[in-house]
Structure 1
Amino acid sequence: MSDSPAPRRGGQPGRRALRRRAVEILYEAAQRSLDPVTLLADRVGSTDADPVGDYTISLVEGVTANRERIDELLAEHAHGWSVDRMPPVDLSVLRVGVYELLWAADVPDPVAIDEAVGLARELSTDDSPRFVNGVLGRIGTIADRIRAVL
C-alpha cells in the first residue's frame, strides 16, 4: 500500500489517488495504534513521504471526527460482521466510503460507492469489492434519512 498517488495531467493527483492516500493513512494509523490526524500531520510536514493533498486531509480529518458514528453504521449494516472482525484494509475503505456518502456533499452517492469498490479492488482481497459494495449500498439506500439527522 505504499504506491504514491498517480498525478493527473498538470501534476496534481486525481481524487481517486487522494482517496487511496487517505485509506493508506487510516490503515497505517490503525495498524500502528496511532491517531490518524497526528499521523496525517507527520505526513504533511515530511519531505520523505509522498505529498498529501487537501482532499486527503479532508477525508482523514472527517473520518476521524465522525468515526464513532461511521463505525455504528458499519456495524449495523455489515450483516454478520462486527467492526472488529472486518479486514483492516476493508474497514479503512468503508470508513472513507461512509464519510463520502454522508458528509461530502460534492460527491454523489453512486460515485462514493463506486470509488470505494474500486479501492477495495485495488488494495484488498477478491471478496472485498462485493463486501464493500453491499455494505455501502445498504447505507446508501438510507443516506438521505441519515443525513437529515446528522
Structure 2
Amino acid sequence: MLQQQRRRAREIALQLLYALDIRNDQTPDEAMALFPFDGESEEVMNYAIWLVKEIWGKRVEIDNLIRMHITGWRPERMVTVDLEAIRLALFEGVYSKVVPIPVAISEAIELAKRFGTENSGRFVNGVLGKIVRSIAEVEGDGKDVEGNASA
C-alpha cells in the first residue's frame, strides 16, 4: 500500500512542479491551494506537499547537478515533464535518499512515460543513468555529489 501511496504522491508532485515551472509567478503554496486534493489520503497529500516544497527549494542545486554531469542538455532545454521527473528522482534518490536510487529512477521513468512524450521514458532513463554513473565515479574519487573534496 505504501508503494501505491508514494506513486500517487509523486504523480501529484510532478503535476504541481510542472505548474510551478510554467507559471513562474506562482509559489508552491499557491499551486497547492489550486490543486484538487479531493479524495486523496492524508499520507499522499503530505508526501506530495513535502516533495514539492523540497524540490522547488532545491531546484537550482538539482539543475546544477544536471548541468555538471550532462553535456548538450541544459535543464531549460528539456521538456518540462521530463525535467520534473528527473528533479524528482534526483531529490528522492540522491539528495534526501528516502528511496534507493534504482527505485527513484524507475519511478521517474514511469512518470515520464505516463505524462511526457513518446520518448520521455528513454530520455529520463538515459539522463538519470548518466548522472548516477558520474556521481558514482566522483564519489569513487573521494568527492561528494557537488564535486567537493570529502573528508
Q: What SS does the corresponding residue of 1:53 show, helix, strand or coil?
A: helix
In the aligned structure 1, how far is the partner of 2:82 from the partner of 2:63?
Answer: 13
Q: Is 2:86 aligned against 1:119?
A: no
TM-score (normalised: structure 2): 0.77
Work out the number of aligned pairs and report it: 138
Correspondence for 1:32 among 23, 29, 41:
23
Q: What SS does the corresponding residue of 2:67 show, helix, strand or coil?
A: helix
What stretches of structure 1 of length at least 5 have no aligned partner?
Answer: 1-7
Q: Which residue in the other structure is 1:94 paired with? A: 86
Identity of aligned residues (%): 37
- How far off is 1:131 after superposition? 1.1
Q: Is 2:145 aligned against 1:146?
A: yes
In the aligned structure 1, how far is the partner of 2:121 from the partner of 2:27?
Answer: 24
Q: Contact between 1:97 and 1:113, CA under 8 Å: does it hold in 2?
A: yes
In the aligned structure 1, how far is the partner of 2:84 from the partner of 2:25?
Answer: 14
Q: Contact between 2:65 and 2:146, CA under 8 Å: does it hold in 1?
A: no
Q: Which residue in the other structure is 1:84 paired with? A: 76
- The Cα RMSD (Å) is 2.7
What stretches of structure 2 of length at least 5 have no aligned partner?
Answer: none
In the aligned structure 1, how far is the partner of 2:107 from the partner of 2:123?
Answer: 14
- How far off is 1:105 after superposition? 2.4
Q: Which residue in the other structure is 1:108 paired with? A: 100
In the aligned structure 2, how far is the partner of 1:113 from the partner of 1:126?
Answer: 18
Q: Which residue in the other structure is 1:135 paired with? A: 127
- How far off is 1:104 after superposition? 2.8
In the aligned structure 2, how far is the partner of 1:35 from the partner of 1:21?
Answer: 17
Q: What SS does the corresponding residue of 1:113 show, helix, strand or coil?
A: helix
Paired residue type of 1:67? R
In the aligned structure 2, how far is the partner of 1:127 from the partner of 1:13?
Answer: 25
Q: What SS does the corresponding residue of 1:146 show, helix, strand or coil?
A: coil
In the aligned structure 2, how far is the partner of 1:14 from the partner of 1:24?
Answer: 16
Any residues of structure 2 matched to 1:37-52 within 5 Å, and which? Answer: 37-43=28-34, 48-50=36-38, 51=40
